[in-house]
Amino acid sequence: MSNIDSHPVVSRAEWLAARNKHLADEKALTRQRDQLSAQRRALPWVKIDKPYTFNGPDGQQTLAELFAENSQLIVYHFMFAKDWKEGCKGCSFLSDHLDGANLHLAHHDISLVAVSHAPWEAFKDFKKRMGWHFRWVSSAGSDFNEDFHVSATDAEKAAGKMEYNYEAMDIAEEEMPGVSVFYKNGAGEIFHTYSAYARGLDILVGTYNYLDLTPKGRNEEEIMEWVRLHDQYEGAAGSSHCCAEKA
């Protein structure tokens, strides 16, 4: 990392010239992002025929029922295996942003649900501890995680390889992060429209957008190395908890 204290200091006029040059690049990126979003919406869809089921505080639900009254569904694939005592630190960091967005998404034809591989009973207390309100259900007993490539299949585990982020990886993990989007039409048919993984999830982490505005930026050598569960930061309520403990 560079020494921030040796950063160039110039006159206001010189700063304004540099800022205007950078502004042109920002506007170009904004237009490119709009084009990319339009391309995403234009992607072809895949019809979902498999009868996935999920379990949560409302009992067993189908994928169609996760939509509630909306036609669009965003699923965040939250890393929480059956023998974990706490959720993935990175997934928890991202999930701290979900409730704020969901206050608005729920009124704009979008349902937002987190899905984990562990049984619902394994993470319900952790959700309460974190103070989250978004819906969070379990895919245990179905192929949902494996079909959307956030959990290795038995064959992938045997081979020590799995598909993740649309490429073959020399890993076979039970838990990987991702987001998947679905659409339900008036006839009740469900379609998979989009999934993203790895750095493709950055767009969901509002804190990073704030950090990117600052002189030190993200200030990390490894992604999210500095992040803690929000009750584990020094001075936070409940900060006596040990770091993410897994059995």
Question: What is the chain's mean pLDDT, rounded?
Answer: 93
Band the pLDDT of 239: cuts 50, 70, 90: very low
Based on C-alpha coordinates, what's the Rg of the chain?
21
Residue 98: CA atoms inside 13 Å, Cβ hemisphere, count?
26
Tell me what pLDDT residue 237 has.
Answer: 67
Among the residue ranges 12-16, 151-155, 192-196, 242-246, the one predicted with the least confidence is 242-246
Residue 198 has pLDDT above 80, yes or no: yes
Task: Pull the structure tokens for residue 184.
Answer: 């339900």
How far apart CA 179 and CA 147 sit, in angstroms, is 13
pLDDT at 59: 95
pLDDT digits 0-9 by tens, 82-109: 899 999 999 999 999 999 999 999 999 9
- Which run of H or of E encompasses 19? helix 12-41
| pLDDT of 2 | 58
182: its two tokens: 């679905």
For the cut 60, the answer to whether the pLDDT of residue 52 exceeds it is yes
**Beta strand pairing call for 167-169 and 72-77:** unpaired
Residues 6 or more apart from 45 whose CB is under 8 A from it? 183, 191, 192, 193
Task: Decide if 80 contacts 87 (C-beta within 8 A).
Answer: yes
If residue 59 lies in a helix (H) or strand (E), which one and from where to where?
Answer: strand 59-62
- The torsion angles phi and psi of 125, rounded to 5 degrees, stand at -70, -35
Lowest mean pLDDT among 39-53, 166-180, 229-243: 229-243
CATH for 46-204 is 3.40.30.10
Q: Above 70 in pLDDT, residue 242?
A: no
**Is residue 144 over pLDDT 70?**
yes
Q: What is the dihedral of CA 229, 115, 208, 234, to 10 degrees?
A: -10
CA distances from 163 to 11, 174, 198 (A): 52, 12, 13
pLDDT category at 142 given cuts 50, 70, 90 is very high
Triad 72, 69, 37: Cα angle to 5°: 15
Q: 4 pLDDT band (50/70/90 cuts)?
A: confident
pLDDT reported for residue 3: 79
At position 53, the amino acid (one-letter code) is T
pLDDT at 173: 93
3-class secondary structure, 14: helix
Side chain identity at 232, as an amino acid letter?
Answer: Q
> In 3D, which of 164, 167, 137 has the Cα closest to residue 58?
137
Q: Is 138 exposed, middle or buried (0-12, 13-18, 19+ CB in 10 A)?
A: buried
pLDDT at 241 exceeding the cut of 70: no
- The whole-angstrom separation of Cα 162 and Cα 146 is 10
* pLDDT score at 238: 54
**Inter-residue contact 45 to 193 (CB < 8 Å):** yes
Higher-confidence residue: 246 or 176? 176
In contact, 82 and 117? CB cutoff 8 Å:
yes
Average pLDDT (7-21) is: 96
